[in-house]
């Protein structure tokens, strides 16, 4: 089994890359751009952009190797039927609430401009895009069925924000038996100290929730241990449809 240098100790990658998935949590305009949900809650959204180049490099490697990619988007139905009042009414007293009209459309509503994934990480047609009403990506979504049907056992976590949706999803995955690895320079928080605390909580007590590493180490190990996916030539792609 391929071994990856990680904290609190080495992480064992699966021997077959098809058992692995990159999970990109909520890299949507709502959290990274002014006028979205993150901004409405009073956060400095600009600091989250720093992870984009590292995440782009990791995504490119994962795509080359044919590893599964799952993008999530935190959002609600336009009629808010999947948004409990307890969630809708939270936030600062003056700021926009979920469902209110903002500069990028209705806040945190499915299909609105602010809800789209940032252009640098636009999903391909083969990748899974999962809309989720909760902070954790397993709550009220088909994620577990999707992973089970594809035989995925190991999850690489990235995205925002580290201590909210990323950590919630990683804990849900850990309880379901997945081997979870957080990529430290591909996740961030509006609060640097919360990111650091999350890393410490996850890796404490012998990886009680999972492992962490950095994208350079991960990319090196993925390239060393897995073969690039076979790309269909235009000739065979055409002939396959005949
Ligand atoms: C938050 C998230 N912070 N994606 N959502 O409300 O972390």
For 181-237, the pLDDT digits (tens) are: 999 999 999 999 999 999 999 999 999 999 999 999 999 999 999 999 876 554 444
Q: Known catalytic residue: 132?
A: yes
Neighbours of 211 (CB within 10 A): 22
The reported pTM is 0.94
**Confidence at residue 232, expressed as pLDDT on a 0 to 100 scale:** 57
Q: Which atom belonging to ligand 1 lies closest to the Cα atom of 163?
A: 7
Q: Report the separation in Å between the CA atom of 180 and the middle of ligand 1, taken as the mean of its atom positions.
A: 19
Q: Report the separation in Å between the CA atom of 213 and the middle of ligand 1, taken as the mean of its atom positions.
A: 22
Q: Known catalytic residue: 185?
A: no
DSSP of the chain: --EE--BSSPEEPPSSGGGEEEEEE--BHHHHSTTSHHHHTT--GGGGGGGHHHHHHHHHHHHHTT-EEEEEEE-B-TT-TTS-HHHHT-S-SSS--TTSEEBTEETTBTTSGGGSBPGGGPPPTTSEEEEESSSSTTTTSSHHHHHHHTT--EEEEEEE-IIIIIHHHHHHHHHTT-EEEEEEEEEE-SSHHHHHHHHHHHHHHHHSS-EEE-HHHHHHHHHHHSPPPPPPPHHHHHHHT-
Q: Known catalytic residue: 165?
A: yes
Of the listed 97, 132, 135, 195, which one is catalytic? 132
Name the residue among 44, 72, 69, 80 with its Cα closest to residue 160: 72
Question: 127-159, pLDDT tens digit by residue?
Answer: 999 999 999 999 999 999 999 999 999 999 999
């Amino acid at each position: 089994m391929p071994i990856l240098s990680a904290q609190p100790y080495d992480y064992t990658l699966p021997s077959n890359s098809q058992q692995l998935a990159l999970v990109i949590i909520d890299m949507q305009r709502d959290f990274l751009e002014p006028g979205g949900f993150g901004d409405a809650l009073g956060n400095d959204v600009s600091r989250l952009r720093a992870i984009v180049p590292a995440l782009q490099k990791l995504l490119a490697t994962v795509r080359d190797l044919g590893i599964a990619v799952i993008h999530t988007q935190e959002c609600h139905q336009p009629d808010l039927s999947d948004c409990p009042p307890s969630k809708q009414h939270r936030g600062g007293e003056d700021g926009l609430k979920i469902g209110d009209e903002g500069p990028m459309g209705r806040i945190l509503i499915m299909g609105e401009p602010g809800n789209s994934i940032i252009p640098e990480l636009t999903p391909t047609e083969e990748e899974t895009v999962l809309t989720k009403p909760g902070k954790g990506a397993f709550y009220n979504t088909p994620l577990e069925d999707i992973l089970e049907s594809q035989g995925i056992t190991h999850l690489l976590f990235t995205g925002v924000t580290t201590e909210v949706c990323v950590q919630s999803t990683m804990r849900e995955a850990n309880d379901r038996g997945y081997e979870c690895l957080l990529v430290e320079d591909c996740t961030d928080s509006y609060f640097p100290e919360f990111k650091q605390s999350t890393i410490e909580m996850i890796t404490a007590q012998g990886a009680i929730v999972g492992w962490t590493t950095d994208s350079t180490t991960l990319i090196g190990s993925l390239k060393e241990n897995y073969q690039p996916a076979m790309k269909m030539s235009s000739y065979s792609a055409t002939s396959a449809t005949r």
